[in-house]
Structure 1
Amino acid sequence: MDPNKYSSEILKMKFCPLCKNVLYSIEEDSSKGDPFAVQNCRKCEYKEKISPDHPVVYEHVLREDTSAKLVLNPYLKHDPTLPRFTEIQCPAPECPSRTGTKGDVVGVKIDRQNVIWMYQCANCDTTWKQNAQTS
């Protein structure tokens, strides 16, 4: 799909021809098969089916893992709003926390649905990703 082909259509807001309120895009279930998209007026119940020739909804899929970029932030360990863990051990063998220095690991939940955390050691700046353990 050429992104420039529909750019003027995507940016246009549509209004209800009956009451002049904004039309909202929603997906409706069809009892005869596939769901379809409509633009709906919330005031007067006017509905207009969205044409495939002029779509107003599109999907943008990112294929790059941005979680590593999040943790590579050098100031992450100084953020007081992030949870800190003293019971999690840094995996780096040369980390000072393995030789007596108090362990201090900062955690960021990068995927809430699958419970995936990214950690950064505040002592040596080592970063790693850990999945939730299932019992």
Structure 2
Amino acid sequence: MLDKNNGVISGNDCIVWMNNEVLDDIKGIEWKITLNFEDITYLNDHRTYKKYLGFSGEGTLTFNKTRSRGATLLKDAIKSGAMPDVKIVTKLMNKSTGKAERAVFTGVTFSEFGTSAEAKSVSEESLPFSFADIEFPELM
């Protein structure tokens, strides 16, 4: 029987790729899907119903600052208006169970980029993004 604590996932066992490149300087990733609904109401009915209209997805890649990730990716796009075609893939693994969750984000758009720096602190770079579609080739 598997120890209950060994079943808990750790971010240390996550790999992230952007356009097939392993992001070896990534510190964290977060993403979420928001389901979009419209309220539906009827005369003589005090309840409110919901009609599903689609979803939107967004997230943030956070890097330990080792290179100019955002500027390299977007420097030409901010002047030309031609945004790069980006695909992000994540794989979150549980080494104890051998199970993994893999997510593939396509239609990725970056909304901002920049760097933070302060005394006696490691510099970071954050790249907030949105995505148009997501697939789950593997689930735990």
Question: Which TM-score tier does this pair reach, normalised by the shorter chain?
Answer: under 0.3
Q: Considering only CA atoms, is the larger Rg found in Structure 1 or Structure 2? A: 1
TM-score norm. by structure 1 comes to 0.24
More strand by share: 2
